[in-house]
Amino acid sequence: MAESQSSTETDWVSRFADDVIAESERRAPGKPVVVASGLSPSGPIHLGNLREVMTPHLVADEIRRRGFEVRHLISWDDYDRYRKVPNGVPGVDASWAEHIGRPLTAVPAPAGSAYPNWAEHFKAAMVEALGELGVEYDGISQTEQYQAGTYREQILLAMRRRGDIDAILDQYRTKKVVKKQSQKAVDEAELEAAEGSGAAAEDDGSTGAGGYFPYKPYCGGCNKDLTTVVAYDDESTELSYRCEACGFTETVKLSEFNRGKLVWKVDWPMRWAFEGVMFEPSGVDHSSPGSSFQVGEEIVRIFGFERPIGPMYAFVGISGMAKMSSSKGGVPTPGDALKIMEPQLLRWLYARRRPNQSFKIAFDQEIQRLYDEWDKLEGKVADGSVLPADAAAHSRAVRTAAGELVRTERPLPYRTLASVVDVTAGDEEQTLRILNDLDPANPLGSLDEARPRLDKAEAWITTQVPVESRTVVREVADAETLAALGETERESLRLLLDGLDSHWSLDGLTTLVYGVPKVQAGFEPDAKPTAEMKVAQRSFFALLYQLLVGRDTGPRLPTLLLAVGADRVRKLLGG
């Protein structure tokens, strides 16, 4: 309680929590606070979609920390139509196009899947990721809701008020929307990530000879939503439709019929009212003039409710997308990110930026810098020098109201772990030896102390670093290069080799490799380097890389030397 109060007004989560609590007390006093997210399992649920969940999750968790009862609803929009066959999904070919227009729960899962249908297949990976991220929520299947007749009264109300709904929608149908050009160019996969669920592009109902109708039946013949309502009677609730795909016609009683749904721009505000939602964010695809969130503000009044508080959230980019999308045919998912980074880091990336601020999630070398930044923050939290807003973001990353997330007991630097795994090719005995040499005075009891961070670093090396960029230590010395060395270069190698035994730790070897060129120039090893000395250091480092791994660059030299081992270093450097 004290922690949350001290962070109030210092971070965006606390400010939204204040607003949502006030709104809930005004509109639904004495009831649980309700926040909501919506996810369409129409394909892989990517890291852009995760912002739809993390934004209300963080706010709900703050409200929960303050002692209020709160529900975070995740609406699985699995009764939406199947819109297109996604590219690059294993087990899916062009034949899946025959299912376009059917509910996602009526489309077969990709070949070889353990799940009963398309929606459940793509939902499963997200459910697993949310569990690892510590997200507490109530999941709602829209297929189950509609097929159980849960929204019967709301559907009948929308049909009675179809003229009013049509008039609201008509205000926006002819408006020209000017697209902003603020987003710099991104590759095709990133554009797919920015697209959202696609629901924002859905039509807003059918208008034919019988007028406008905000309800779409799924066809009794082909189970597709390519239907047109041709007549409806408010008194009897008799509804007649024809299918434009297969020609099937049917007359049903809407008061008893459960094979259809409200069109998206009516469905979303209906659910706000039905669930009593006080907070739900929306992506850019739902927030432009005339789109779902804007129109919903007026349509929700028909259902006797007010639109929830809802910030527009910005684009989430990917650093290192190209390598990944070429093999996967799509954008990375939360599960992909959690293979290479701990949940705390991923939570922190969403917690530290306001929803309207874009950011990137790293799958390339940038992940090492992000981990360095995270470890530096952890140090500031430990010594009490952290700023309040940073402390709040850190707290939201490492724990929820339910408790701390599982964390690495000995969080060694990610870049060091990646380098060691790279050099040892994952050999556990070698890895443990090297990690213990990092700090001989404080050895690891087992590799489990370095997990799960060690496993994440290994996954990054094996899945994200191209084979040609991985480190392969020479088997034998490069005799030709050694023979061609000048006296200055020979002396630098002698100084290094002479100091190996007395400097055999990460800190010691760091001092040694940076100090050799200083000593050669007549300075002390800890002297501040001049510009000229920095040039000499770079030349010395390039020589060592060439003799050890046959390239001009590689993992940090102190880590590389530890990984190679003193005896082999001497052999490769001509000692």
3-state secondary structure of 12: helix
Q: Are strands 399-400 and 403-404 parallel, antiparallel or unpaired?
A: antiparallel
**How far, in Å, CA of 467 to CA of 461, rounded?**
9
Predicted confidence at residue 333, as pLDDT, reads: 93
Tens-level pLDDT at each residue, the chain (575 residues): 334 433 444 699 999 999 999 999 999 999 999 999 999 999 999 998 999 999 999 999 999 999 999 999 999 999 999 999 988 899 999 999 999 999 999 999 999 999 999 999 999 999 999 999 999 999 999 999 999 999 999 999 999 999 999 999 988 876 544 444 444 434 444 444 444 444 444 567 766 667 899 999 999 999 999 999 999 999 999 999 999 999 999 999 999 999 999 999 999 999 999 999 999 998 876 666 667 888 999 999 999 999 999 899 998 989 886 444 433 446 799 999 999 999 999 999 999 999 999 999 999 999 999 999 999 999 999 999 999 999 999 999 999 999 999 999 999 999 999 999 999 888 899 999 999 988 888 999 999 999 999 999 999 999 998 888 889 999 999 999 999 999 999 999 999 999 999 999 989 999 999 999 999 999 998 889 889 999 999 999 999 999 999 999 888 999 999 989 999 999 999 97
Residues 95, 101, 107, CA angle at the centre, nearest 5°? 55
Task: For residues 184 and 288, give the distance between their C-alpha atoms in angstroms, rounded to a whole number.
Answer: 18
Integer Cα distance of 539 and 521 in angstroms: 14
CA dist 37 → 40, 102, 272, 326, 404 (Å): 10, 23, 11, 30, 23
CB 70 within 8 A of CB 134: no
Distance CA 161, CA 303 (A): 10
Write the CA distances from 210 to 207, 229, 233, 266, integer angstroms: 7, 7, 10, 19
Separation CA 87–CA 373 (nearest Å): 35
DSSP code at position 150: T
**DSSP characters for 314-368?**
PPEEEETHHHHHHHHSSPPPHHHHHHHS-HHHHHHHHHSS-TTS-EEEESSTHHH
Q: Is 534 helix (H, G, I), strand (E, B) or coil?
A: helix
Residue 183's pLDDT is 42
Sign for the CA dihedral angle at 540, 541, 547, 548 comes to positive
Identify the burial level of 209 via C-beta atoms within 10 angstroms of its C-beta, where 0-12 means exposed, 13-18 middle and 19 or more buried. Answer: exposed
Specify the pLDDT at position 207. 67
d(CA 479, CA 547) in angstroms, rounded, equals 9
